[in-house]
């Protein structure tokens, strides 16, 4: 086992990049204090804040925790430099408003014992922090824990074949690709990514950057329909701003600004979740052995997704793109209808509590992600655990 210091000390390094959000970071770290088997994991806090505060990791009862402060900028650069310090055989990255669940350690032990390169959990649980307001519905979902039904099924996935599907869907659904963000990846595979692409993460979005790059590198990849982490959405996070409808704006004045000069002519020239995913996925894909897959990418489908998922700005975006590029109106209409029907099904499922809205828990007024983690852990402990009987910690 090898790391930057020469020795892999732990089964997994749990990396938490953070910047100027010590309030959420403190709550995040408290979720680790009651986790068992602390000998097999380390928590690595990578702080890129401009001005380091008096934040002290010694205030937290975590056996193996390190704090690194480096002044870097940009999501991909921050994530990359944090991985330079990982010492685990496996690695996962979470946000400073997220939590891990005990099942993560079982999953990593199972992966190690079975020579598995990566595990991607389907995200079945999530906590919306106090103070978050939705674009529709206001603050009614603030301080709310939602846990969807899950099966516990472990499924082997051919990553390269899954990448084909993701590209044809213009990178709008990459939940089954190998993921280091809220997923588990062998550190040696991430080092292969760095060797091939020059760094661990390139482009504009580290989660999809790694997912696309890893699809060509991992040999043994599994998805599991079981919560391993608890993603959080706090007011100043990307997830929180997306819920509030603030994840849209001028390309030049956004995190995608540095790439505006190489922005593809047939991509909508606007900053949205949809264009960020598509650009970052494309940026990596065209540098990968699977670059020929880009032939199945449809710019009209991307425009349709951008319009339908950003309806308040749809007319403005469409007018802009009509002046910029040649649009195939029949194809645009076809894909737009498809996305409209998809959103209608999602709304109906939400009303009828079906599909992803078939919930096993819907708790409000918990106060913090610490309480949300405790409740989630108790609920999934009662479920059929896909890893518990298969590993020895």
pLDDT at 329 over 50: yes
Token pair of 99, please? 């939590």
Place 384 in a pLDDT band, splitting at 50, 70 and 90: confident
pLDDT at 99 over 70: yes
Question: Is 291 inside any structural domain?
Answer: yes
Question: Is 311 inside any structural domain?
Answer: yes
Calpha distance 160→331 (Å, rounded): 27
Q: What is the pLDDT of residue 1?
A: 39
Q: What is the pLDDT of residue 135?
A: 60
Closest CA to 102 of 382, 389, 369, 381: 381
Q: What is the pLDDT of residue 246?
A: 58
Q: What is the pLDDT of residue 393?
A: 46
Helix (H, G, I), strand (E, B) or coil at 14: strand
- Of the CA atoms within 13 Å of residue 285, those in its CB half-sphere come to 22
Calpha distance 217→101 (Å, rounded): 27
Q: What is the pLDDT of residue 382?
A: 87
pLDDT at 138 over 70: no
Mean pLDDT of the chain: 91
Q: What is the pLDDT of residue 376?
A: 96
CB 97 within 8 A of CB 27: yes
Question: Is 190 inside any structural domain?
Answer: no
Q: What is the pLDDT of residue 3?
A: 42
pLDDT at 139 over 80: no
Place 74 in a pLDDT band, splitting at 50, 70 and 90: confident
Question: Is 251 inside any structural domain?
Answer: yes
Q: What is the pLDDT of residue 136?
A: 52
Q: What is the pLDDT of residue 9?
A: 82
Question: Is 156 inside any structural domain?
Answer: no
Long-range contacts of 256-262 (CB under 8 A, 24+ apart): 256/204, 258/74, 259/203, 259/204, 259/283
Average pLDDT for 220-236 = 95
Higher pLDDT, 125 or 241: 125
Calpha distance 380→108 (Å, rounded): 17
Higher pLDDT, 135 or 35: 35
Question: Is 44 inside any structural domain?
Answer: no
Q: What is the pLDDT of residue 270?
A: 96
Q: What is the pLDDT of residue 24?
A: 95
Per-residue pLDDT tens for 156-171?
999 999 999 999 999 9
Question: Is 298 inside any structural domain?
Answer: yes
Q: What is the pLDDT of residue 357?
A: 73
Place 31 in a pLDDT band, splitting at 50, 70 and 90: very high
Q: What is the count of structural domains for the chain?
A: 1
Could you tell me what percent of the chain has a pLDDT over 70?
A: 92
pLDDT at 4 over 70: no
Q: 321 is in which domain, residue-wise?
A: 241-352
Average pLDDT for 36-58 = 91
Calpha distance 90→184 (Å, rounded): 7
pTM of the model: 0.91
Q: Which of 7-16, 36-45, 288-297 has the lowest mean pLDDT?
A: 7-16
Q: What is the pLDDT of residue 241?
A: 53
Closest CA to 80 of 195, 251, 176: 195
Sole residue written with tokens 């806090």: 45
Q: Determine phi and psi for 349, rounding to 5 degrees.
A: -60, -35
Q: What is the pLDDT of residue 239?
A: 58
Average pLDDT for 7-29 = 92
Q: What is the pLDDT of residue 5?
A: 42
Question: Is 344 inside any structural domain?
Answer: yes
Place 141 in a pLDDT band, splitting at 50, 70 and 90: confident
Closest CA to 166 of 289, 271, 278: 278
Q: What is the pLDDT of residue 389?
A: 60
pLDDT at 308 over 60: yes
Average pLDDT for 83-106 = 97
Beta strands in the chain (DSSP E): 10-18, 41-47, 65-69, 88-93, 99-100, 118-121, 125-128, 144-148, 154-156, 184-186, 221-224, 229-230, 232-233, 359-364
Q: What is the pLDDT of residue 240?
A: 43
Place 6 in a pLDDT band, splitting at 50, 70 and 90: very low
């Amino acid at each position: 086992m090898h790391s930057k210091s020469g020795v892999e000390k732990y089964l997994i390094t749990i990396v938490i990049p953070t910047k100027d959000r010590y309030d959420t970071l403190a709550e995040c770290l408290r979720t680790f204090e009651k986790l068992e088997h602390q000998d097999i994991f380390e928590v690595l806090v990578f702080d890129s804040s401009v001005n380091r505060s008096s934040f002290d990791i010694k205030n937290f009862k975590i056996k193996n925790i390190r704090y690194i402060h480096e002044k870097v900028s940009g999501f991909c650069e921050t994530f990359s430099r944090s991985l330079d310090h990982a010492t685990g055989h496996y690695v996962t990255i979470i946000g400073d408003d997220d939590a891990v669940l005990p099942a993560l350690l079982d999953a990593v032990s199972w992966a190690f014992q079975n020579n598995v390169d990566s595990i991607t959990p389907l995200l079945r649980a999530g906590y919306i922090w106090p103070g978050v307001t939705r674009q529709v519905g206001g603050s009614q979902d603030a301080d709310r824990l939602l846990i969807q039904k899950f099966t516990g099924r472990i499924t082997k996935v051919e990553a390269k074949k899954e990448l084909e599907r993701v590209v044809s869907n213009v990178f709008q659904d990459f939940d089954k690709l190998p993921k280091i963000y809220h997923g588990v990846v062998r550190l040696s595979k991430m080092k292969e990514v760095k060797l091939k692409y020059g760094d661990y993460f390139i482009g504009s979005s580290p989660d999809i950057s790694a997912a696309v790059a890893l699809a060509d590198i991992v040999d043994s990849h599994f998805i599991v329909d079981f919560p391993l982490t608890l993603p959080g959405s706090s007011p100043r996070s990307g997830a929180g701003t997306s819920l509030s409808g603030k994840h849209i704006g001028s390309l030049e004045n956004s995190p995608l600004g540095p790439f505006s000069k190489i922005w593809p002519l047939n991509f909508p020239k606007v900053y949205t979740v949809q264009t960020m995913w598509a650009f970052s996925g494309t940026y990596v894909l065209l540098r990968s052995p699977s670059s020929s897959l880009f032939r199945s990418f449809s710019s009209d489908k991307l425009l349709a997704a951008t319009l339908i998922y950003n309806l308040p700005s749809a007319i403005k975006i469409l007018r802009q793109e009509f002046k910029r590029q040649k649009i195939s109106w029949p194809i645009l209409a076809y894909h737009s209808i498809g996305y409209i029907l998809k959103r209608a099904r999602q709304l109906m499922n939400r009303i009828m509590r079906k599909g992803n809205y078939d919930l096993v828990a819907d708790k409000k007024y918990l106060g913090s992600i610490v309480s949300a983690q405790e409740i989630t852990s108790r609920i999934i402990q009662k479920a059929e655990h896909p890893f518990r009987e298969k590993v020895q910690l």
